[in-house]
Chains A and B, each alone.
Chain A
């Protein structure tokens, strides 16, 4: 049982480049989330998808787009990367929200 799988684990981008972070879960969870984690800031929600076919903005959505491709997969796209997007990105899923999240292993992104 792989849980939540994120790719890539590390990435370095130049300012203005684009990329997509991939996330897949094999637990048949309805809800999926993208967070970023910065030192001293904690985890901040970028976008979430409460169910297949729906997406909603979180606390810090600017500069990002998401796609809920199917029940398993939820991708995060940076259209034009900026140094302020240097962060660790976590994907998470939950079966029922009151049971908490299962997190992926994270993507460490550096924008130079």
Chain B
């Protein structure tokens, strides 16, 4: 079983809608989660991270962590075509020496 699982998509949403991206993980000891955005042919860039149960908001982005159910979500409000990219979920090992990445969910926002 992979450490981090994501639906590869593509997830298609119309412009202005809420896009919901999900990630499940196997390590119950995981304390923090990171979301990266990767445009086609480019390198991943960090969007946000979350440490505690509940929601964390940053502009149009909201990360949600549910440790009991072992899933983490990224909501993108008022989706724009420029949000079209692959979104990677990641969490570190307990000693933070390395991260486990999901294979990513491709998001298409249609004008």
Residues of B within 8 A of A (CB): 4, 8, 32, 34, 36, 42-46, 49, 88, 90, 92, 96-99, 101-104
Kindly state whether residue A50 has any CB partner on chain B within 8 Å: yes
Q: How far is the CB of B101 from chain A (nearest CB, A)?
A: 4
The answer to whether residues A103 and B43 also contact, given A41-B103, A43-B88 and a CB cut-off of 8 A, is yes
| B43–A106 touching, CB < 8 Å | yes
| Pair A42/B102 contact, Cβ less than 8 Å | yes
Residues of A within 8 A of B (CB): 31, 33, 35, 40-45, 48, 50, 56, 58, 90, 96-106
From known contacts A103-B45, A106-B43, infer whether A98 and B98 are also in contact, taking CB-CB under 8 Å.
no
> Which residues of A sit under 8 angstroms from B49, Cβ to Cβ?
98-100
Q: How far is the CA of A98 from the CA of B98 in the complex (A)?
A: 10
Name the residue in A41, A99, A100, A103 with the highest tally of chain B Cβ atoms < 10 Å from its Cβ.
A100
- B43 to chain A: closest CB distance in Å? 4
Task: Assess the B92–A42 pair: CB atoms within 8 A.
Answer: no
